């Protein structure tokens, strides 16, 4: 099962040019699955900004516009797209000029693959 | 602010056989749509136009890409920072006429 | 162009690829053009899923890439990918000037769609 989704995510990494990392974690930032390109993204930073996203997402949900789904963060060298998938958090890290729209469009496609992992997380 | 954009989209969508039209920016984010088209298409449309730009990088005039599937077509063109995507569908009558 | 395969009249180059992108045959301006082959394989990879509700995934049977002076026509058939670069001027490329009805319709279609976007 996990091989299947890993293969699929690796395919996505090839498809979207400028995408460096796709990571699936639980809401505390515990990594469940990660695929990455050989590019030197600073992985040391990764664990800390995932719980930060959870907090930011909770705060953003209080703006009175409904539940927050996605946060896009732009930096001078990177862009980070994080999606709130309830027990899971999906994180994409790409180049600053990476196709944001394409990453967002992946959301619906990935949903099917996430179901199994979601189940495993809620049971644990 | 986006009145000009809306005007262009309306003009495109009013053409014959057009199902929907969309404009995307440099980031692949949707600027506007008209007709029956998913705004999420902006990302993939932009990715396709970027990929085709690699084919003849020295060519200054942007290419028009057309994808055919049965009686449906998807037309994509990039011009500078903006990418346009149009979905077209031939009416049943004109399909039989074309195959003759 | 004497020994080379003539797929359509007015052609100025062609590539025939396997499903995995390996070049089987090539000729004209696209002779041994691995770079173009790779770009087009990347394009085909992207066109697999555009919008499920409009076009079913992987249902795209033909792609044209239209420039001012020429266009590319890409077809999938018999587990092969056929790419033909075709000149728009009647006397460019091949000696025969009568263009087949199929290439004619491609030309009209593409130029029409270009006008819509312009």
Residue C37: what pLDDT?
A: 93
Instruction: Tell the CATH topology of B3-99.
Output: Beta-Lactamase (3.30.450)
- Contact list in A for residue C46 (CB cut-off 8 A) is 15
Q: Give CA–CA dist C64/B66, Å, rounded.
A: 5
Reported as a single tens digit per residue, the pLDDT across C25-42 is 998 899 999 999 999 999
Query: What residues does each domain of chain B span?
Result: 3-99
Q: pLDDT per residue over C58-68, tens digit each?
A: 888 899 999 98
pTM of the prediction? 0.82
Question: Do the Cβ atoms of A102 and B41 come within 8 Å?
Answer: no
Percent of chain B with pLDDT over 70: 91
Q: Which of residues 92-121 of A touch B (CB under 8 A)?
A: 97, 99-105, 108
Note the pLDDT of residue A1: 64
pLDDT above 60 for C92: no
Report CB contact under 8 Å: B43, A17. Answer: no
Residue found under tokens 């930032």:
A29
Mean pLDDT of A43-47: 64
| Chains contacting C (3 or more CB pairs within 8 Å) | A, B
Choose from A29-33, C35-39, C87-91 the range with maximum mean pLDDT: C35-39
C75, C83, C113, C114, best to mutate vs chain B, most B CBs in 10 Å: C113
Between residues A52 and C94, the one the model is more confident about: A52
What is the architecture, at CATH level 2, of domain C11-117?
A: 2-Layer Sandwich (3.30)
pLDDT at C2: 47
- What is the percentage of chain A residues whose pLDDT exceeds 90? 21
Q: What is the pLDDT of residue C100?
A: 39
Domain residue ranges in chain C: 11-117
> Which strands make up the sheet holding C62-66, listed edge to edge?
B30-35, B18-24, B82-89, B72-79, B64-69, C62-66, C70-77, C80-87, C11-18, C23-28
Select from B33, B40, B78 the residue whose CB has the most chain A CBs within 10 Å, as the one to mutate to test that interface: B40
Q: What number is the average pLDDT over the span B39-48?
A: 92
Average pLDDT over residues C39-59: 86
Tell me what the pLDDT averaged over chain B comes to. Answer: 88
ipTM score over 0.95, yes or no: no
pLDDT in tens, B2-34: 888 899 999 999 988 999 999 999 999 999 999
* CA dist., res. A56 & res. A58, Å (int): 5
Walk me through the domains of chain A, giving residue ranges and CATH numbers: 2-123 (3.30.450.30)
Mean pLDDT across chain C, nearest whole number? Answer: 77
Q: Are B66 and C66 in contact (CB under 8 A)?
A: yes
pLDDT tens figures, A68-113:
999 999 989 889 999 998 888 899 999 998 999 999 998 888 888 8
- Per DSSP, what are the bridge partners of residue B68? B73, C62
Those residues whose C-beta lies under 8 Å from the C-beta of residue C63, and which sit 6 or more positions away, are B65, B66, B67, B68, C43, C44, C47, C72, C73, C74
């Amino acid at each position: 099962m996990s091989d299947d989704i890993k293969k699929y995510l690796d395919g996505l990494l090839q498809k979207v040019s400028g995408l460096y990392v796709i990571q699936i974690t639980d809401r505390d930032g515990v990594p469940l699955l990660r695929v990455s390109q050989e590019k030197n993204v600073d992985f040391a930073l990764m664990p800390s900004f995932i719980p930060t996203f959870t907090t930011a997402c909770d705060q953003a949900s209080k703006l009175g516009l409904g539940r927050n789904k996605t946060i896009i963060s732009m930096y001078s060298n990177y862009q980070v797209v994080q999606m709130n998938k309830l027990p899971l958090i999906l994180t994409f890290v790409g180049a600053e000029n990476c196709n944001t729209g394409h990453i967002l469009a992946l959301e619906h496609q990935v949903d099917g693959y996430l179901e199994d992992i979601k189940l495993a997380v809620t049971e644990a | 602010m986006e009145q000009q954009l809306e005007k262009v989209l309306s003009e495109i969508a009013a053409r014959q056989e057009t199902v929907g039209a969309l404009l995307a920016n440099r980031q692949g984010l949707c600027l506007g749509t008209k007709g029956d088209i998913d705004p999420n298409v902006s990302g993939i449309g932009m990715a396709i136009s970027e990929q085709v730009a690699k084919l003849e990088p020295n060519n200054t005039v942007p290419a028009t890409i057309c994808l055919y599937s049965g009686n449906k077509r998807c037309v994509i063109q990039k011009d500078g920072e903006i990418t346009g995507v149009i979905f077209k569908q031939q009416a049943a009558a004109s399909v039989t006429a074309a195959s003759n | 162009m004497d020994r080379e395969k003539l797929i359509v009249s007015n052609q100025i180059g062609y590539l025939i690829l396997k499903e995995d992108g390996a070049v089987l045959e090539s000729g004209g301006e696209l002779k041994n053009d691995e770079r173009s082959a790779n770009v087009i394989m990347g394009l085909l990879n992207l066109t697999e899923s555009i919008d499920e509700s409009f076009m079913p995934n992987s249902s795209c049977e033909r792609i044209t890439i239209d420039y001012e002076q020429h266009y590319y026509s890409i077809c999938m058939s018999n587990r092969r990918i056929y790419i033909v670069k075709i000149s728009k001027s009647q006397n460019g490329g091949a000696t025969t000037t009568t263009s087949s009805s199929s290439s004619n319709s491609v030309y009209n279609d593409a130029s029409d769609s270009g006008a819509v976007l312009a």
